[in-house]
Structure 1
Amino acid sequence: MTAPLSIASWNINSVRFRMEIVERFLREISPDILCLQETKVVNEDFPHAPFRALGYNHIAINGQRMHHGVAILSRVPLVEDDRLDWQANGEARHIGVRLENGLRLENVYIPAGGDVPDREVNPKFGQKLDFLERMTRWSEGLASIPTLLVGDFNVAPLESDVWSHKALLDVVSHTPIEIEALARLQAANDWVDLGRHFAPAPERLFTWWSYRAKDWAASDRGRRLDHMWASRDVAAKATGHKVFEHCRSWLKPSDHIPILTEFAL
Structure 2
Amino acid sequence: MTGHDRAKDPVRDRPDLSKEITEAADRLDEARRTGVPTAPVRDLLPPGDLAAAYAVQHLTTGRRLAAGRRVTGWKVGLTSAAVQRQLGVKSPDFGALFDDTAFCDGAQVPFGAVLQPRAEVEVALVLGADLPHRHSTVADLVRATAFALPAIEVVGSRVRDWDISLVDTVADNASSGVYVLGARPVALDALDLRTAGAVLERRGEPVSVGAGAACLGHPLNAALWLAGTLAALGRPLRAGDTVLTGALGPVVDVAPGDVVEARIEGLGSVRAAFAANPEGEDA
Q: With the length of structure 1 as denominator, give the TM-score of the two structures.
A: 0.28
* Bigger relative contact order, structure 1 or 2 (CA pairs below 8 A, ≥6 apart): 2
TM, length-normalised to structure 2: 0.27
Structure (1/2) with the larger helix percentage:
2
